[in-house]
Structure 1
Amino acid sequence: MDVDKSEGNRDDISSNVVKIPERMLLREQARLDEVERRKEAKESHSVADENSEFFTKAFNRDRAAIEDLISICSGADRGSATQTLDAATAKTQQLQKFLNDSMMFLAQYELRQAQAALQKLQTSLAEKRDEALPKKKFAFRSRTKATEQVDDTVPATLAGETVIDGQTPAASDIGKVEETVQCGFSNMDDVVLTKTAGEINKNDVLLSQLTNCKVRLFGSPSTLHIKNVSGCEILCGPVSGSVFVDHCSNTTLVLPCQQLRTHNTTSTQVYLHVTSRAIIEDCHGVSFAPFTWSYPTLDEDYVVSGLDLARNNWSHVDDFNWLAATQSPNWALIPVEDRKTTWET
Structure 2
Amino acid sequence: MRVMIISEVIQDDGFDGAAKMKERLQRRNQTRIEDAERRKEEKESRSVAEEKDEYFSKMFGEQRAAIEELLSGCSGADRAAVSQKLEEATAKTAQLQKFLNDSVLFLTQYELRQSQAALQKLQASLAEAREKALPKKKFAFRARSKAADKVSAPEPAPPAAGSGEVDSAAAAEQSGFSNMDNEFLTKTSEEIQKRDVLLTHLTNCKVRLFGSPSTLHLKHIHGCEVLCGPVSSSVFVDHCSNSTLGFPCQQLRTHNTTDTQVYLHVTSRAIIEDCQGVSFAPFSWSYPNLDQDFSVSGLSRERNNWNQVDDFNWLAAGTPSPNWTVIPEADRKTSWDP
Q: Do the two structures share a fold, i.e. TM-score over 0.5?
A: yes
The letter for the 2-side match of 1:267 is D
- The aligned amino acid for 1:269 is Q
The residue aligned with 2:120 is 119
Q: Does 1:130 align with 2:125?
A: no
Counterpart CA distance in 2 for 1:141 and 1:236 is: 23
Do the aligned partners of residues 138 and 228 (structure 1) sit closer, same or farther apart at CA in structure 2, a change above 3 Å counting?
Answer: closer
Task: After TM superposition, give the deviation of residue 189 of structure 1 in Å.
Answer: 1.7
State the partner residue of 2:271: 279
Does 1:255 pair with 2:250?
no
Relative to structure 1, the CA distance from residue 49 to residue 310 in structure 2 (aligned partners, 3 Å threshold; closer, same or farther) is farther
Give the whole-Å Cα distance in 2 for the aligned partners of 1:67 and 1:78: 18
In structure 2, C-alpha distance between the alignment counterparts of 1:68 and 1:302, rounded to whole Å: 31
How many Å separate the matches in 2 of 1:53 and 1:70? 26
Alpha carbons 2:257, 2:278 under 8 Å: kept: yes
TM-score scaled by structure 2? Answer: 0.75
RMSD: 2.6
- Alpha-carbon contact 1:255-1:272 (below 8 Å) kept: yes
Partner of 2:320: 327
SS in 1 for 2:105: coil
> 2 CA distance for matches of 1:337 and 1:172?
36
Shift of 1:123: 2.1
Q: Deviations over 1:217-266 (max 9, x none)?
A: 10111111111111111111011111111111111001101111111111
Contact kept? 1:233, 1:253, Cα under 8 Å: yes
5+ residue gaps in structure 1? 1-46, 143-154, 164-168, 175-179
Count residues in correspondence.
Answer: 274
Counterpart contact for 1:246–1:264, Cα < 8 Å? yes
Which residue pairs with 1:224 in the alignment? 216
Higher mean displacement: 79-88 or 268-277: 79-88
Specify every segment of 5 or more residues in structure 2 that has no aligned partner in the other structure, as ranges: 1-47, 144-149, 165-169
Q: Is the 8 A contact 1:48 1:101 kept in 2?
A: no
Normalising by structure 1, we get a TM-score of: 0.73
Sort the Cα spacing of 1:74 and 1:321 in 2 relative to 1 into closer, same or farther, 3 A. same
Identity %: 71
Distance 1:139 1:100 in 2: 38
**Cα-to-partner distance string for 1:16-42 (whole Å, 9 max, x where unaligned):** xxxxxxxxxxxxxxxxxxxxxxxxxxx
The AA in structure 2 aligned to 1:230 is H
| Kept in 2: contact 1:48–1:102 (CA 8 A) | no
Which has the higher Rg, Structure 1 or Structure 2? 2
**Residue in 1 that maps onto 2:101:** 100
Mapped to 2, the partners of 1:299 and 1:236 lie a distance apart of: 13
Post-superposition Cα deviations, 1:105-128, rounded to whole Å, max 9, x if no partner, equal: 111111111111112222222233
Q: Distance in 1 between matches of 2:53 and 2:300?
A: 24
Cα–Cα, structure 1 residues 225 and 140, in superposed 2: closer, same or farther, change >3 Å?
closer
Judged with a 3 Å threshold, the aligned counterparts in structure 2 of structure 1 residues 49 and 94 are, in CA distance, closer, same or farther, namely farther
Q: 1:200: which partner in 2? A: 192
